[in-house]
Amino acid sequence: MRYKLLGRSGLRVSELCLGTMTFGESWGFGEGKDHSRKVFQAFVDAGGNFIDTANKYTEGASEEFVGEFAEGQRGSLVLATKYSLSTRPDDPNGQGNHRKNMMTAVEHSLKRMRTDYLDLYYVHAWDFMTPVDEVMRGLDDLVRSGKILYVGISDTPAWVVAQANTMAELRGWSRFIGLQIEYSLLERTVERDLTPMARALELGVLAWAPLGGGMLTGKYNAPKSLIHRMDSKRELMNADRMTPQNLAVAAAVKKVAEEAGCSPSQVALAWLRAQPGQIIPVVGARKEAQIKDTLGCLNVTLSPEQLKTLDEVSRVPLGFPHAFLQADFIKQAIHGNTYDKIDNHRA
């Protein structure tokens, strides 16, 4: 395991992050404490120090498990959690990005996780109601109080993140250092604006669902009789991913895995880790064997030809204005005859 400086900070985090949405059984597809502890410890024993949870995951059980498992090794771990999602569905202030929910949520998370500070605190999803300055000032107050050390944001449009970090920079508030987004061979639309923005603003990208909800593990390429024995709730969650295009991508991943002598999961993660910018996959597992297989991706390097094969089968159109600005006649109009003579490190 190697480590990265997360975004524009000095915080050292492992090159994989352990996602703990499956810690707890209240959602119908997770695991109890014993299996979750084995997954957690296998990750830590391999050198992983970056743990991701949220106050909503398994209705708080995930945070409780993480807090219990971290006892005795808290100082060496980077614990990240989130707020924003609904915890009191009938209370107008029981969810959202606003200061009241933020302050209430952080106290509950600290208690569940048995700690007096959080290393990284995320806005879980943008609510399109709370002003950006209220969110950033509230998060900065938490940093100044010592209850959180760094701030991040998840599942939010690029223009909001850019506005927030610019405002924080100008006002001397804490900036987002991490951006959590869905990113995989099955979800590359983030390459239109979110990942270029992250590179420009020096944000670490935490990629959730890096295996496409299991679509890239190879099991969906198995005979239908095997697929139907899967957990019904998990299958239902993946129903919208079961498209001909995604199955074609999964088949290409399986073929590359056979060539490389590794698992499809390791191929999918190796492709993701090879993308430009600071990409850290958020990996989850229900069983110890699954997390050990996942950790094997750290020893897999895909050839340029294999990367090209996966790029081509999974590519999405960038749309306007990106495709327009990349057209040769537009480059000519903007740069004249000089485009190919300039070494552009910002490309």
Q: CA-to-CA distance for 127 and 34, rounded, in angstroms?
A: 35
Dihedral sign for Cα atoms in the order 328, 330, 331, 336: positive
Q: Which residues are catalytic?
A: 57
Q: CA-to-CA distance for 52 and 17, rounded, in angstroms?
A: 7
Dihedral sign for Cα atoms in the order 91, 110, 137, 6: negative
Do 293 and 266 contact (CB within 8 A), yes or no? yes
Q: CA-to-CA distance for 122 and 150, rounded, in angstroms?
A: 9
77 Cβ neighbours under 8 A, 6+ residues apart: 44, 49, 50, 51, 70, 119
Tell the residue number behind the tokens 């306007």, with chain if given. Answer: 320
Dihedrals φ, ψ of 268, to 5°? -60, -40
Counting Cα atoms < 13 Å in the Cβ hemisphere of 64 gives: 9
Tell the residue number behind the tokens 């159109």, with chain if given. Answer: 317
Q: CA-to-CA distance for 136 and 145, rounded, in angstroms?
A: 14
Q: CA-to-CA distance for 173 and 195, rounded, in angstroms?
A: 23
Q: CA-to-CA distance for 332 and 75, rounded, in angstroms?
A: 55
